[in-house]
A and B are shown apart, each in its own frame.
Chain A
Amino acid sequence: MLRLEPRAQPSQLMSYASPLLAIVLMLIGGLILFSALGKDPVEGFRIFFISPLSDIYGVGELFLKATPLMLIAIGLAVGFRANIWNIGAEGQYIMGGVAGSAVALYFYESEGPHILFLMIVAGSVGGMLWASIPAFLKTRFNTNEILVSLMLVYVAQLAVSWLVHGPMMDPDGFNFPQSRMFEESAILPILIKGTRLNAAFLFALSALVVGYIFMYRSFLGFQMQVAGNAKNAARYAGFSAKRMVWIGLLSGGGMAGIAGISEVAGPMGQITEHISSNYGFAAIIVAFVARLNPIGIFFASLLMALLYLGGEQAQQYMNLPSSISNVFQGMLLMFLLGSDVFINYRLTWKRG
């Protein structure tokens, strides 16, 4: 009989091996899924995971998709390490996009580098403002930040919908729910010719470096980690729990806001109701697969981006619904949570 037996020490090896195990299980699950849908699994695998990367444009798309995931995940990881569960990055992403777009539209038909700069600042402030609502409610009334931040996602979605149907609507746009196309000076520069990869990728890389230094080298990062590991020890040391909540939520909100405006000022070029493809939720999976580690976030974002691209390909060439990406994301998270059991338990064979 197979039995789970508690380990004396949590396994360090398993805590890194379990994301890899989850990826392998996700791939196996995917093959089974393709077969069950009556598709050739090998062909499905090729279309899903290989063909998106067959040219430079595809690789550019991969990094483009990974950019918002990296930005959001690193911001969330700062809070998650302190057990502050910001589930509403999706809403903060939208509000960042809205705030940045407002700047772009305000400066419509003017020129200068200050426009992009102000858009980025406005984007991060917009995200932070949206995240400050759960932070304020938690520190003032001890509400649950998971619920508040999640519910605010839907508020943000309705807000952006109202804006693009109203104040932000393109006056010459035949009543389509979208803003004007941004001018050249409000669009992020392209990094590699022939791709859509833009300067936001550089923001993401610097965010990972800054995040790494904050988490592993700064005293504030240490305090957040203490708060996440042992609440009473943080209180004993005199670290302010409220400060942790604010930092945790604002970092997630700020980064999500930058991701939002980067998407609007990048591949979208205008604000619509559909500026996000669930990046705010996918980034939560990224952060966990990465074990809240910045280097891990880099790779996990690329993997998650590949799932997005693969999903599009599968839609195009295999006649599968677009939700196939979500199915793969869900499998990845589920297998990760399952594999994590082996960090604290080991499988033994016992008779009787």
Chain B
Amino acid sequence: MTPDQGAENEVRLELNGITKIYPAVIANDDVNLKVRRGEIHAVLGENGAGKSTLMKMIYGVARPDAGEMKWEGEVVHVENPAHARSLGIGMVFQHFSLFETLTVVENVALALPGNIDLRDLSIRISEVSHKYGLPVDPQRLVHALSVGERQRVEIIRCLLQDPKLLIMDEPTSVLTPQAVRKLFDTLRQLAHEGCSILYISHKLDEIQELCHVATVLRNGKVTGDCIPSKETPESMASLMIGKELPVCQHEVPTELGEVRLRLNGLTVVSDDPFGTSLKNIDLEINSGEIFGIAGVSGNGQQELLYALSGEEPLTQNEPIVICGEAAGRKLPDARRALGMGFVPEERLGRGAVPQMSLAENVLLTAHGGGMLNKGMIQFEQMYEFTRRCIDKFDVKCGGEKAAAKSLSGGNLQKFIMGREILQMPKLLVVAQPTWGVDVGAAAFIRQELIDMRNEGTAILVISEELEELFEISDRIAVIAGGKLSPPKKLADTSIDEIGVWMSGMWPDSGKADAKSGERQADA
């Protein structure tokens, strides 16, 4: 879809030579950008390319060190987000800013200036939600909403202020494929009515489908502008990462080996009132396969991972069997001794200690491999392992004594993956293996996982990125509402089917759950 010609050509937002310098890094370097009326404009770039910083300056959260911003032809200095909103700029953040214990209408009222009549506001919310196909009940409490519904609340909150420019920061990372399509319809309708949209993403296919124009950032600089519909994903990727997009080699799975992980009716009641309890999960993962678990975030992934890793040990041993041994009550180090490796989603603060050196972070989980002698640390072995990890996994860092927090997200993830892989686990559990990792490092990490599988490791990948799971998994299942769907061979399913399952509706998922699934399905 292209915008109507004519009046749409007027430039609404213009950035000239915007530069932002942080103490350690130049986040934006002489960035120029023009957004026209009714245009859906993609800002494309890897993590750390400077997209978010640029948006923060437009929205008044940060101020540029150099350069000027023109809004409808006039030079403006946006003082703060309230000023930005008064100009007609709205922003939907990647991480939602809603109060879980308040209702939808109360949350919306908090963002609006002046005294507000809640009943009147409810009616306006209903009108807007009806007009743009964003169904949401104004009286519901936010904690009871699905992630997709929460995003709708954020969008409605922006729309109530009649924005002329709407900034969307990675809006689809938490949505099912079906919900993404609905969001796109809404955005197209908005653009058609003349609202400009800045759409931030690193997902090339979405940008191709939705956006009229794209500006590509790399290392804080604009590396090109393009019309996405006239480009291929490969050509946009090369603008984005400066080289060809690497592709993983994935052979047909070989014979499956022994069972390395078995879950027998795993049930965990979450103590967190907003958490998800796990309900009777059965699962078998064999040596030599990659098993993917898909799902919209917040459907029990965290609870499952804590139970698997041993960070939240169970009260019984039987529900979790690791390499033939019942291990439900064991702590993480005891599970590691059985041959399990685990890569958590949060790298800094959980997978690694930020202030400590890489070598000390090796000691964190790899101490079993000859690094201890009568309780004393063997520094030679520790440094040797660290150097091996840095070399083999191409970790860009200041050496084995560099602090973990000095590494970029992608490099730290490579380091943590390397640390777990070099211990040669029989079973590897990985959460969000490439979350926040740049495209190059992501392809490398996926290839490592596939190589490990080929050598006979059993691998469980829990990810919210469907494309990733479809790229590397041999079998796939879906977690929704704390229940696990039956597994499917990758060849026997499709992204669309798994997308439907992600809203809790798989065959035999139970009637009661089909109902709660409906709510999520339209999310």
Contacts and interface: CB of A to CB of B under 8 A. Distances in A.
B520 interface: no
Given A217-B376, A219-B375, A232-B346, A237 B352 contact: no
B309 interface: yes
A274 interface: no
Contacts of B311: 235-236
A226 B349 contact: no
Contacts of B363: 219, 222
B289 to A, nearest CB: 25
A239 B351 CA distance: 13
A322 to B, nearest CB: 41
A53 interface: no
Interface of A: 6-9, 217-220, 222, 225-226, 229-230, 232-233, 235-240
A218 B376 contact: yes
Contacts of A229: 353-356
Given A8-B22, A8-B24, A226-B364, A236 B332 contact: yes
A226 B361 CA distance: 9
Interface in B341-374: 342, 344, 346, 349-356, 360, 363-365, 367, 372
A9 B406 CA distance: 9
Contacts of B331: 238, 240
Contacts of B375: 218-220
B114 interface: no
A307 to B, nearest CB: 32
A293 to B, nearest CB: 15
Interface in B280-307: none
Nearest to A239: B333
A226 B356 contact: yes
B334 A238 contact: yes
Interface of B: 22-24, 309-311, 331-336, 342, 344, 346, 349-356, 360, 363-365, 367, 372, 375-377, 406
Contact of B350 (A6, A9, A217, A236): A236
A226 to B, nearest CB: 6
A7 B24 CA distance: 9
A139 to B, nearest CB: 15
Contact of B336 (A9, A226, A233, A238): A238
Given A219-B375, A238-B310, A232 B336 contact: no
Given A232-B350, A237-B333, A238-B332, A222 B355 contact: no
Of B23, B309, B354, most A-chain CB atoms within 10 Å: B23
9 contacts: A217-B377, A218-B376, A219-B363, A229-B353, A232-B350, A233-B352, A236-B344, A236-B365, A239-B333
Contacts of A225: 356
A82 to B, nearest CB: 12
A218 B24 CA distance: 35
B397 to A, nearest CB: 15
Contacts of A220: 375
B336 A222 contact: no
Of A8, A9, A225, A236, most B-chain CB atoms within 10 Å: A236
